[in-house]
Chains A and B, each alone.
Chain A
Amino acid sequence: MAGAIIENMSTKKLVILGVILMLFQAFSFMVGGLIAPSPTAAVSYLATKCVDNEKTHHKNPKWFTPWGPDQCSKIKDFDEAMVKKIEANNIVFAIHIPPPNTEMSTWFQFLLLILHFDIAFKIQNQIADGASITIDVRLAYRDDKLSEWTQMAHSVEQRKLSCNFTAAKTIENEGRLYDCDLLPFMELGSVAHKYYLLNVRLPVNERKKVNIGIGEINDMRLVGIHQNGGFTKVWFAMKTFLTPSVLIIMIWYWKRITQMTRPPVLLEKVIFALGISMTFINIPVEWFSVGFDWTWMLLFGDIRQGIFYAMLLSFWIIFCGEHLMDQTERNRFSVYWKQVIPIVFGSFCLFIFDMCERGVQLKNPFYSIWASDVGTELAMAFIIVAGICACLYFLFLCFMVFQVFRNISGKRSCLPAMTKARRLHYEGLIFRFKFLMLVTLACAAMTVIFFIISQVSEGHWLWGGHTVQVNSAFFTGIYGMWNLYVFALMFLYAPSHKRYGDEQSSADQAGNSGEDTQLTTTITHVDGPTEIYKMTGKEAQE
């Protein structure tokens, strides 16, 4: 790689640029922490037990609403159903989303529903081992409180019950609830309507063993998770601001490359590709979800993130490889296929897994890959293979970093004996590599630290009267940080346009034709390097 801007930039300018980037970084954290609400909201819904008195309920499905003007006739518990001789197939669990006096909004982006059963322990009616529950569920929507419900999904699903009874199974403990795992229920990739209605039946068929041995179900609870509208607005605004910023630096970077007389080297191409993938993830196509009912937006976002991460990981490998100073084979992508294959394969496995889960949910929102044994095994297989690829990649990356550092320490001892041109060249390589290594480690550490904080904390701190949303700060801060990373990368590692001929070094070149393949015609000026650069050079000489 020819001399980059970072080598020729003065210390003063480099510090100024760093401070500006730090200010933007702090600002992106504060936008999430102070302006936005928490990223998601969870609302608990307790299903109402409605009674379907009609015998021919399969012709036109009647919709049962739990509250409101046309609410259904209800029972409080199943003792009441037993007294009234109501059968299981005539019980409908009804859930209205959202709660009274509220409306769903397209700003909520997705709706994830989690299912939990309250099952009471009865000696005569225990949960069979490996019990599976069959759920006949319909989903409807409407957009004002007076219109009819329109069906948008219907499915018969099975979920495996996984329940523990922690107390002793005695008559004394009858009526206590089992401790049951949460079950995935539904995921909508968009929230295009104001009101949703779920009608759930647990049909019983003794001959087919449908819903036999599921214990004494008292209640059905759902938890609805959606993105908060305020967080969505802040997120969209951030994306809308970042897209032109990265796009402009990308265009500028490409102009710098094309202005040179030589074709771009591999590293320059990879940096440009990284900018493209960052722009791809930035483009706020989500704005369309506010106006259109595009349920694939979640899946599209996942794909874009996958592309960016694959590109970033590949860039790190190639950056290390191109800074192996004694490597004779370079500037060709084929040199790195061994290291890049784990990235591509791991990403591909995760992509297939995501298609099997979210892709299928585009058609059937109640589908869950974890609901069946085959699905669970397939999902685990994909995740394990992706994990193995990640470990392989990490080992390769560590090995290459180790090689580069060993190469650097080897070169340092030779630096004083080199000609001026060769010494400046190697010093530039060393400085470029160390700088990027430091910045990358800082960004990765910041991401991991904030991930851990968001896992451990409650999600918000009280700070001098202000509420700081840690989780929102994490999302906007880390997202802004990686944008600044790519921005700084393209700016600092663009080719420098400073060219200075040195007659003395030109004369020396003639006598060292054996090492010409390592050198370029660009020679950096002695007065240009930063203080850090000079210190690096001194250190190398010692």
Chain B
Amino acid sequence: MCTGLPRTACPLRLIALCILLSHAAAYFGLTGREPLVFLPGPFANEPTNGKAHLKQCEQMTLTRRQKRLCRREPGLAETLRESVRLSLLECRYQFRNERWNCSMDGRGSLLKRGFKETAFLLAVSSAALSHALAKACSSGRMERCTCDDSPGLQHREAWQWGVCGDNLKYSTKFLKKFLGQKRVSKDLRAQIDAHNINVGIRAVKSGLKTTCKCHGVSGSCAVRTCWKQLSPFQDTGHLLKYRYDTAVRVHSVTNSATGETELAGPRRHSITLPRPRPTELVFLEESPSFCRPSRYSPGTAGRPCSKDTSCSSLCCGRGYNTALRLTTLSCHCQVRWCCHVECQTCLREEEVYTCKKH
């Protein structure tokens, strides 16, 4: 994950991602201009007393309403951090060969604009939170995961009767509550952000696999029970990358009947296409090239690339430098589950290609 960087850099990156993501879409609200410090990191021994989550909630940059939700649900703070980690890792993986490689430099400026990259960030963040919430429900870290609208006794009776829904249904409902999507805004940008957040949620839903089990008399299919299973988040990330590659540019149209502003598809030959599909990522502005350093990205100078596949596009025609590097890598490993690896060290000389500066 953070190879070659000091360990303290990891939580700082997570914090930065939280802050920057929260600015645009009220994902995590800003309580002030100064970033607050996260808990030390995933390796810290978490205190086991019942009110540890209260301190964690205060330390995150959330809106007042989000903090209230966080205090009420003990497992939410941990889940939020897990979702940030998940979205960051997946974003970097999906864009590892692109000019914009999900760098955190310039993210603040990026989130203020309506680029394709902004759309992807919103979608992957909401997808990661949806996924992390469903996982937290499965492991029992979230307390109210089914029939959350029922008060205590009715909740128990509903559970025993058998009308409780599944985890993802709850996590989707909670997610929309957390992000505050109830208000229908007339602002075009807010509509676009809400649309892209929903694309992320839908990507997690479309990845659900229905699995069935036959159990009954002698194991026959007299009784068959089905449930929905989460796909690995890599699959969701892959789908969102495809949505990013096929994103649709939109503009605003005033509905003459209601007087409200609506999203509309691209204008071609003076014919306006209908509004974008719920599964399509949408953006307002064409992206910059990300080739040179700007407020949106540090540029591609010095980026490693693959000679035959990605150097030509990644280096924007500037060419690449070749260097020989002596690499030590592990080989002839003997691995035992879960926690034991014995490897020998091998030396390998390899050519490294990096993009030239402008």
Contacts and interface: CB of A to CB of B under 8 A. Distances in A.
Nearest to B46: A74
A249 interface: no
Interface string B126-164: 000000000101111111111000001001100111111
A463 to B, nearest CB: 17
A449 interface: no
A354 B336 contact: no
B229 to A, nearest CB: 7
Nearest to A91: B338
B221 interface: yes
B307 interface: no
Interface stretch (B100-108, B212-220, B283-291, B320-328): B212-220
B339 interface: yes
Contacts of B75: 67
A102 B144 CA distance: 10
Interface stretch (A135-143, A175-183, A487-495): A175-183
Contacts of B143: 100-101
Contacts of B42: 76, 80
Size band of the interface chain B makes with A: 35 or more
A99 B223 contact: no
A38 B227 CA distance: 13
Contact of B223 (A40, A71, A87, A383): A40
Given A204-B337, A212-B336, A225 B225 contact: yes
A128 to B, nearest CB: 12
Given A223-B227, A302-B217, A354-B217, A100 B145 contact: yes
Nearest to A351: B218
B146 A102 contact: yes
Contacts of B338: 78, 81-82, 88, 91, 202, 216-217
A78 B339 contact: yes
A350 B218 CA distance: 7
A44 B161 contact: no
B337 A42 contact: no
Interface string B314-358: 000000000000000010010111111101000000000000000
Contact of B337 (A202, A223, A455): A202
B8 interface: no
Residue from A48, A67, A350, A383 whose CB has the most chain B CB atoms within 10 Å: A67
Contacts of B163: 37, 230
Given A48-B140, A354-B217, A214 B337 contact: yes
A212 B337 CA distance: 7
Given A88-B340, A122-B335, A125-B335, A46 B217 contact: no
A431 interface: no
A39 B336 CA distance: 43
Interface residues of A, number: 78
B226 interface: yes
B180 interface: no
B162 A38 contact: yes
B335 A228 contact: no
B42 to A, nearest CB: 6
Interface string A428-466: 000000000000000000000001001100110000000
B232 interface: yes
Interface in A203-227: 204, 206, 211-212, 214-217, 221, 223, 225
A99 to B, nearest CB: 6
A98 B138 CA distance: 10
Nearest to A96: B140
Contacts of A211: 337
A53 B91 CA distance: 36
B337 A37 contact: no
B309 interface: no
B339 A88 contact: yes
Contact of B339 (A86, A96, A206, A229): A86
Contacts of B224: 454-455
Nearest 5 CB-CB pairs, A to B?
A228-B162, A42-B227, A46-B138, A230-B161, A37-B162
Interface of A: 37-42, 44-48, 66-67, 69-71, 73-74, 76, 78, 80-83, 85-88, 91, 96, 98-103, 105, 107-108, 112, 114, 118, 122, 124-125, 175-177, 182, 202, 204, 206, 211-212, 214-217, 221, 223, 225, 228-231, 302, 305-306, 350, 353-354, 357, 383, 451, 454-455, 458-459
